[in-house]
Structure 1
């Protein structure tokens, strides 16, 4: 197996030896009062027919927009 084949099968790491997901989790859980759930996914990304769709997850604790308004009011 070549290095390229190996990298295609798994997330690629950089000079830190960490994948993008590992770096994200590390950054989001390193604050003094952080908890593991702070790194939970907040979006779903899907790719179909050359189109990328990004949806905010319904179960995301942190969501964009005005928190005092219901989503239909925005």
Structure 2
């Protein structure tokens, strides 16, 4: 018998968002804001768009370069 992803999620009693928050706040010295959203995902006309949020504390890119340049 094989279990799909939804079966495993149901056994934990946690939603995907609850699991994410739990994992991101489990580290020593972690704070609740560590689990704040960092991306926005939108779906339209069969296209998925992923945008980095402007208010995200951690953003991809070169940390030595000013993003305003």
2:38 aligned residue: 42
Q: Choose which of 29, 35, 42 in structure 2 pairs with 1:33.
A: 29
Q: What is the Cα deviation at residue 14 of structure 1?
A: 2.6
The normalised TM-score by structure 2 is 0.80
Q: Indicate yes or no: 2:22 matched with 1:65.
A: no
Q: Choose which of 37, 43, 51 in structure 2 pairs with 1:55.
A: 51
**Structure 2: any 5+ residue segments left out of the alignment?**
1-8
Aligned pair count?
61
3-state SS of the aligned residue for 1:15?
Answer: helix
3-state SS of the aligned residue for 1:54?
Answer: strand
**Structure 1: any 5+ residue segments left out of the alignment?**
1-12
Higher relative contact order (CA 8 A, sep 6+): 2
